[in-house]
């Protein structure tokens, strides 16, 4: 293994069973395979089994943070557990250089009846720190977690945030080389999260390596140099954060559209499509493009005072913004047959990611929904890449702006 | 800088690397187990009023029950009252030592299963920590037994070695059984439930609160714990007739079996974790 490489993962795979009985049987089968010296890769996959992680490879170098993105059940935690040596791969190989600390759940092994200090001893010992070193680390750990005043209180009197702080503080002081972080910062408050981020950046600068799992894409963009996207156990992308988010969001598209129509006599939302200005239908754009959203409505009779609302959602970050015809002072008059209503966005402010549009057609009354389609259309913003660490715009929207320097 | 490799290949495919890893883990486990033992011991009585008294209450309660039964004429084996008290206390102490050794590995793995599923550490540490717990509880009970023997002027310093050897043999056999069951106990609750039931009937079928007659001796040999308890108790109370031979005889196979059990535990636990889920 190259001197700079901290982790090398070669085509690892892990299979699980969908049922409890099957899972127990699989464990027994693996134990038997171990006793009889049989490699599980040679076993065919059973009808109730699936690959939780399948054929995933990557490398992690010193000073690098690799983000892991994927929907729930995409195999992120299983992959981390294989890296931590908790689960044995069914195929492939993992090689790690240095001391590994897995933060799969902050405060693993904490005992609620013991005090903060007593729990530090146990938790740090589980991470492989000697008793003498723990004694030396007690004060820095308590100070990092800001729990000096609670050091002798039993852990059962701690809030979940305080426990998370203590758990992270212990791992942060255990002199690790590789840190595996699985969605553990979600518990702490904003100030603590910032301190953790600062610590992780310092850890990377000192030659450490991190594999970081979070559903918070903004947090991910602030720490990860590179992102690996998992979908149904397989690696679908590895590369820059912006494209990774876009791939991840595209893989997270809802499978079914929900359609509501008050009755057969009301106008119907036939389609919503997007196109570049002057071009044909498209689903992929860039920040700053001029984009037109064309809504086709079919009506059997004439209708007046109809309102159209188009709501834009980010695949992972939720509701972004909406457009409604009354805001522009437009009252829609529908003719029998096909009607097209076009929304023009002069300068697309959305940044890299996958988005969808929900369309609602209202009647005269405030809550009179005639027809609703959710989602009615999908589109992707493919670039440019967001630039974290103070080099450019990062986040979900890019607002048109200018800078002025008065020196 | 240390390197770790995890592959799909069976551990025994590279037995030298596996044994090396066991050695490294054992060194780490020795330190870690002490920390875990202190943690569990500290937490164990923290929410009790009687505290460490709970360590001696069960054997005292059981002995008093049998003394009461004997006084009421329900049990009468022709011994003098004071000899009966010590016989029962010795039998119960040795039995409880064995029963704890069987059930503690299962209890420890159950207690730590959420930790096992989320952290990689030498899992032997939880077994060792459990063994320390069994040893501590055993020590307290043996001190109680020693006090009773001193009061009734039975046995003497010469009783210590046979009692110690008997205790170690019982603890060894119990630990082997418990450690073998512990990976399975993470997968099937039947193991823990079945073990409690089995130990209850096993206790009734073991001459811990009663003595056997010559006619039944061979029958008791079907129960491998029975002779161990009888030898240990005889060694403690009837030192002039006692032979160390049986204990020495079981020591070697016991040591080999313990080593094999440790390897089986390591092979089993890494796959049993998978059954624990996320």
User: If you average pLDDT over residues A301-320, what whole number do you get?
Assistant: 89
CA nearest to A125, candidates B22, B108, B24, B38: B38
Cα B203 to Cα A107, A155, B131, B178: the distances in Å are: 40, 39, 21, 16
> What is the C-alpha radius of gyration for chain A, rounded to an integer number of angstroms?
26
DSSP B45-59: TTT-SSGGGGGTHHH
Give the DSSP H or E segment for A346.
Answer: none
Burial A60-88 (b: 16+ CB within 10 A, else e): bbbbbbbbbbbbeebbbbbbbbbbbbbbb
Residue A171 contacts residue A164 (beta carbons within 8 Å): no
Q: How far apart are CA A342 and CA B235, in angstroms?
A: 98
Q: How far apart are CA A242 and CA A351, in angstroms?
A: 9
Q: For an interface test with B, which of A35, A40, A56, A213 has the most B Cβ atoms less than 10 Å from its Cβ? A: A35
User: If you average pLDDT over residues A184-194, what whole number do you get?
Assistant: 77
> What is the C-alpha radius of gyration for chain B, rounded to an integer number of angstroms?
21
Q: How far apart are CA A238 and CA A68, in angstroms?
A: 9
B270 touching A, CB under 8 A?
A: yes
Q: For an interface test with A, which of B11, B274, B277 has the most A Cβ atoms less than 10 Å from its Cβ? A: B274
- Residues in B touching A126 (Cβ below 8 Å): 32, 115, 119, 121
Residue range A337-394, pLDDT digits in tens: 999 999 999 999 998 888 899 999 998 887 889 999 989 998 988 888 777 666 777 7
Length of chain B: 278
**B161 vs A127, more confident:** A127
Within 8 A by CB and 6+ apart from B89, the residues are B59, B63, B144, B145, B148
What does pLDDT average to over chain A?
Answer: 87
CA nearest to A177, candidates A103, A67, A87, A96: A96
Q: Within 10 A of A118 (CB to CB), how many other CB atoms are there?
A: 21
For residue A320, give both structure tokens: 């972004």
pLDDT(B121) > 60: yes
Q: Could you tell me the pTM of the whole model?
A: 0.79
pLDDT(B163) > 90: no
Neighbour-count burial of B146, counting CB atoms closer than 10 A to its CB (0-12 exposed, 13-18 middle, 19+ buried) = middle
Burial B54-77 (b: 16+ CB within 10 A, else e): ebeeebeebbeebbeebeeeeeee
Q: How far apart are CA B275 and CA B186, in angstroms?
A: 8
For residue A160, give both structure tokens: 């979940």
pLDDT above 70: percentage of residues in chain A: 96
Q: Do B4 and A84 touch (CB under 8 A)?
A: no
Cα end-to-end distance, chain A, whole Å: 51
Interface A-B: count of C-beta contacts within 8 A:
140
Residue from the list A85, A114, A125 with its beta carbon closest to the beta carbon of B42: A114
Q: Do B42 and A95 touch (CB under 8 A)?
A: no
pLDDT(A323) > 80: yes
DSSP A226-270: EEEEEETTEEEEEE-HHHHHHHHHHHT--SS-EEEES-TTS-EEE
pLDDT(B213) > 70: no
Q: How far apart are CA B211 and CA A405, in angstroms?
A: 98
Residue A356 contacts residue A378 (beta carbons within 8 Å): yes
Give the best-scoring range by mean pLDDT among A279-283, B25-29, B158-162, B218-222.
B25-29
Residue from the list A28, A89, A128 with its beta carbon closest to the beta carbon of B7: A89
For A314, the 3-state DSSP assignment is strand
Q: Are strands B3-7 and A291-299 parallel, antiparallel or unpaired?
A: unpaired
- pLDDT, residue A33, reads 86
Residues paired with A276 in a beta bridge? A291
**B254 vs B194, more confident:** B194
Nearest-Cα distance to chain A for B198, in Å, is 23
- pLDDT, residue A66, reads 95
Residue from the list A31, A111, A113 with its beta carbon closest to the beta carbon of B267: A31
User: If you average pLDDT over residues B129-139, what whole number do you get?
Assistant: 91
Rounded (10°) angle between helices B124-151 and B245-272: 150
Residue range A79-110, pLDDT digits in tens: 999 999 999 999 999 999 998 988 887 777 78
Residue from the list A27, A114, A127 with its beta carbon closest to the beta carbon of B271: A27
pLDDT(B215) > 60: no
Within 8 A by CB and 6+ apart from A368, the residues are A362
Please report which confidence band the pLDDT of residue B240 belongs to, taking 50, 70 and 90 as the band edges: low
Q: How far apart are CA A262 and CA B44, in angstroms?
A: 64
For residue A185, give both structure tokens: 């910062």
For A163, the 3-state DSSP assignment is helix
Cα end-to-end distance, chain B, whole Å: 30
Nearest-Cα distance to chain B for A172, in Å, is 15
Please report which confidence band the pLDDT of residue A40 belongs to, taking 50, 70 and 90 as the band edges: low
CA nearest to A3, candidates A83, A62, A65, A84: A62
Please report which confidence band the pLDDT of residue A255 belongs to, taking 50, 70 and 90 as the band edges: low
Residue B121 contacts residue A126 (beta carbons within 8 Å): yes
Phi-psi region of A318 (alpha: psi -120 to 50; beta: other; left: phi over 0): left
């Amino acid at each position: 293994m190259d001197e700079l490489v901290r982790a090398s993962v070669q085509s690892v795979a892990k299979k699980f069973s969908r049922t409890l009985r099957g899972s127990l049987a699989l464990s027994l089968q693996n134990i038997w395979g171990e006793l009889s010296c049989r490699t599980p890769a040679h076993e065919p996959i059973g009808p109730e089994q699936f690959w939780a992680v399948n054929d995933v490879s990557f490398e992690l170098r010193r000073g690098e943070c690799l983000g892991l993105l994927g929907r729930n059940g995409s195999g992120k935690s299983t992959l981390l557990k294989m890296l931590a040596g908790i689960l044995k791969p069914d195929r492939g190989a993992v090689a790690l250089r240095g001391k590994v600390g897995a933060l799969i759940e902050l405060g693993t092994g904490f005992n609620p009846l013991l005090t903060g200090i007593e729990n530090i001893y146990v938790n740090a010992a589980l991470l492989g720190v000697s008793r003498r070193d723990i004694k030396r680390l007690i004060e820095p750990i308590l100070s990092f977690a800001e729990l000096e005043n609670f050091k002798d209180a039993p852990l059962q009197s701690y809030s979940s945030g305080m426990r998370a702080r203590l758990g992270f503080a212990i791992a942060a002081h255990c002199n690790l080389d590789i840190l595996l972080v699985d969605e553990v910062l979600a518990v702490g408050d904003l100030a603590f999260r910032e301190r953790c981020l600062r610590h992780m950046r310092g850890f990377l600068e000192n030659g450490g390596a991190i594999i970081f799992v979070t559903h918070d894409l903004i947090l991910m963009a602030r720490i990860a140099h590179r992102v690996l996207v998992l979908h149904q156990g397989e690696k679908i992308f590895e590369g820059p954060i912006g494209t990774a988010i876009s791939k991840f969001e595209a893989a997270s598209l809802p499978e079914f559209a929900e359609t509501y129509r008050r009755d057969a006599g009301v106008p119907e939302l036939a389609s919503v499509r997007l196109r570049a200005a002057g071009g044909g239908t498209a689903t992929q754009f860039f920040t700053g493009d001029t984009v037109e959203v064309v809504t086709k409505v079919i009506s059997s009779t004439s209708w007046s005072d109809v309102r159209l609302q188009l709501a834009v959602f980010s695949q992972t970050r939720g509701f972004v913004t909406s457009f409604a015809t009354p805001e522009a002072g437009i009252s829609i008059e529908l003719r029998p047959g096909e009607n097209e209503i076009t929304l023009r966005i002069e300068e697309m402010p959305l940044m890299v990611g996958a988005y969808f549009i929900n369309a609602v057609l209202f009647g005269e009354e405030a809550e009179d929904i005639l027809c609703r389609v959710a989602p009615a259309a999908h589109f992707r913003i493919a670039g440019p890449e967001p630039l974290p660490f103070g080099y450019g715009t990062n986040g979900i929207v890019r607002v048109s702006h200018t800078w002025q320097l008065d020196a | 800088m240390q390197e770790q490799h995890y592959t799909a290949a069976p551990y025994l495919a590279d037995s030298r690397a596996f044994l090396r890893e066991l050695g490294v883990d054992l060194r780490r486990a020795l330190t870690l187990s002490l920390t875990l033992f202190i943690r569990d011991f500290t937490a164990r009585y923290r929410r009790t009023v009687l505290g460490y008294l709970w360590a001696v209450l069960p054997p005292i309660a059981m002995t008093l029950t049998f003394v009461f039964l004997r006084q009421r004429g329900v049990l009468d084996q022709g011994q003098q009252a004071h000899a009966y008290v010590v016989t029962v206390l010795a039998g119960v102490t040795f039995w409880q030592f064995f029963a704890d050794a069987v059930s503690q590995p299962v209890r420890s793995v159950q207690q730590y299963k959420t930790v096992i599923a989320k952290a990689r550490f030498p899992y032997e540490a939880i077994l060792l920590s459990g063994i320390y717990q069994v040893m501590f509880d055993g020590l307290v009970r043996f001190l109680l037994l020693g006090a009773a023997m001193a009061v009734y002027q039975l046995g003497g310093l010469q009783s210590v070695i046979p009692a110690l050897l008997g205790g170690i043999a019982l603890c060894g056999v119990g630990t082997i059984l418990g450690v073998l069951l512990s990976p399975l106990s993470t997968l099937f609750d039947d193991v823990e439930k079945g073990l409690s039931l089995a130990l209850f009937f096993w206790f009734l079928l073991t001459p811990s609160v009663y003595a056997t007659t010559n006619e039944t001796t061979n029958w008791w040999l079907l129960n491998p714990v029975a002779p161990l308890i009888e030898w240990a108790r005889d060694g403690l109370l009837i030192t002039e007739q006692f032979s160390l031979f049986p204990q020495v005889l079981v020591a070697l196979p016991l040591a080999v079996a313990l080593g094999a059990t440790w390897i089986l535990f390591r092979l089993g636990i890494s796959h049993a974790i998978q059954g624990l889920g996320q």
